[in-house]
Amino acid sequence: MKILIVASSRSGSTTLTRMIGNILNYVQYHEPFNYGHPSYASKIFPKILSNNCVVKSIIDQKPIGGGDILEFYKKYVNKFDKVILLSRKNKQEVYESMLHRVTYFWNGDWHTPYIYEELPENDRVRKWVQHQSNLLESLSEISNIPITWYEDIYSGNKALVELKIKEWKIDSVTYENSKKYLNTENKYRKQPKIL
């Protein structure tokens, strides 16, 4: 089975890809169209995917020469057996996470714990967050694929998480074997310790 995750940034897509890939023992491809990041650009993304793989792509990334983003993804989703669209409802928290990362980790590890501190307003980052959100919502509309919300699957609410996992209809992925990945204690953003 070929699984595609199309996500907005800072939505837990790396964890979700690892979770599904590890549970199913599938080959994982993380951001194959992210040509601006050296650790991704060095990976070879095959033209013909293996039957057992999970591919994670950020919604504003596409192949070189891929044309219009929505037109590309409208066709690309049809190459997969299962497609998960992943985003966050709380755009302010996405903005804060993106702003922290582009300020301190632009070319480094985006997947490390941090404590957010107020930073000067950055209109470019805010527009970037809104642009990704708009693209993902448009893809959801034209493909009739519902968005899975970060706030639901990383809620810690067993009934809600089980419901969302069942909606994906991916055999062998259950709440029990997913909960260690979806544990809210694993979120990158940590609260400052109160002295």
Return the amino acid letter for 123: D
Asked if 53 and 26 touch (Cβ cutoff 8 Å), the reply is yes
* HEC per residue, 115-164: CCCCCCCCHHHHHHHHHHHHHHHHHHHHHCCCEEEHHHHCCCCHHHHHHH
**N- to C-terminal Cα distance for the chain?**
50
pLDDT at residue 189 in the model: 62
Residue at 58: amino acid letter: I
- Determine whether 138 is exposed, middle or buried from the number of CB atoms within 10 Å of its CB (0-12, 13-18, 19+): middle
| pLDDT for the residue 111 | 67
3-state secondary structure of 189: strand
From the list 43, 6, 26, 44, the residue with the least C-alpha distance to 171 is: 26
The reply to whether the predicted model has a pTM over 0.85 is yes
pLDDT at 65: 83
- Asked: is 2-186 a CATH 3.40.50.300 domain? The reply is yes
pLDDT score for 166? 95
Name the stretches of the chain with pLDDT < 50. 41-42
Segments making up each domain of the chain, as ranges: 2-186
At residue 42, the pLDDT reads 44
